[in-house]
Copies of this chain bind each other. A is one copy, B any other.
Amino acid sequence: MPNQARPGTGEQARQHALERLRQAILRGDMAPAQRLVENELAEQFGVTRASVRAALIELESEGLVERIRNRGSRVRVVTVEEAVAITECRMVLEGLCAAKAAVAATDDELAQLTTIGRAMTKAVADGEPVTYSELNQELHARIRQFSGQRTAVELLEKLNAQLVRHRFQLALRPGRPQRSLGEHLAMVETITARDPQAAEAAARAHLTSVIAALRE
């Protein structure tokens, strides 16, 4: 039973295939560099090849899939070098979002950031790296959201999607949460202080540290 969603409903085939395939790649179900044969995917998802094709084209421009003319598609492998380049872009874009958020966020939204910061501190104290990683994601997402910078948010989400594998690897590294906690708290503090320049600097400092960690 390859299908987990009803094929007969109004759910458009292409969108269905797109979502299934994207999730499969993001969850790591597809091995890196694995070949993605249109026919196989079509059967697996219970849609036609045309829909899979459309989904692959879309995923290609999201950077999750690599396509070569007449040769097929594969899950794109992001080298460490590329991961660094991507994270450099994240650095400046998250800096922009942090600065914007420091100005644009409501008081209620700032309180949310503080709450997440406290939870992160607790997660580190309790030695729960998985919880910490989730809160990490949550914090970055909120800051993006509060910035109100739709273009930057879209770019960042695309960039982040390409880094799933590296992020996963990074989160499990011992000592990493302890180091990054302070950086995250600095971001929260500067944003809640409504200091855009300091917020940008804090975000960039954090991402700089991530880059250093990526390089091992």
Chain A residues within CB distance 8 Å of chain B: 12, 50, 53-54, 57-58, 61-62, 69, 82, 85-86, 88-89, 91-93, 95-96, 149-152, 155, 159
- Copies of this chain present in the complex amount to 2
Given contacts A50-B50, A61-B62, A69-B12, contact A151 B92 (CB under 8 A): no
Question: How near does chain B come to A178, taking the closest CB pair, in angstroms?
Answer: 28
In the assembled complex, the Cα of A152 lies from the Cα of B93 at a distance in Å of: 11
- How would you classify the secondary structure of chain A's contact residues: helix, strand, loop or mixed? helix
Question: How near does chain B come to A55, taking the closest CB pair, in angstroms?
Answer: 9
Q: Which residue of B lies closest to A70 (CB)?
A: B12
Q: B85 and A150: CB pair below 8 A?
A: yes
Q: A152 and B85: CB pair below 8 A?
A: yes
Q: A88 and B57: CB pair below 8 A?
A: no
Q: Which residue of B lies closest to A156 (CB)?
A: B89
In the assembled complex, the Cα of A88 lies from the Cα of B149 at a distance in Å of: 9
27 residue pairs A–B, Cβ–Cβ below 8 Å: A12-B69, A50-B50, A53-B54, A54-B54, A54-B57, A57-B57, A57-B58, A58-B61, A61-B62, A82-B150, A85-B149, A85-B150, A85-B151, A85-B152, A86-B151, A88-B149, A88-B151, A88-B152, A89-B93, A89-B96, A89-B149, A89-B152, A91-B96, A92-B93, A92-B95, A92-B96, A93-B93
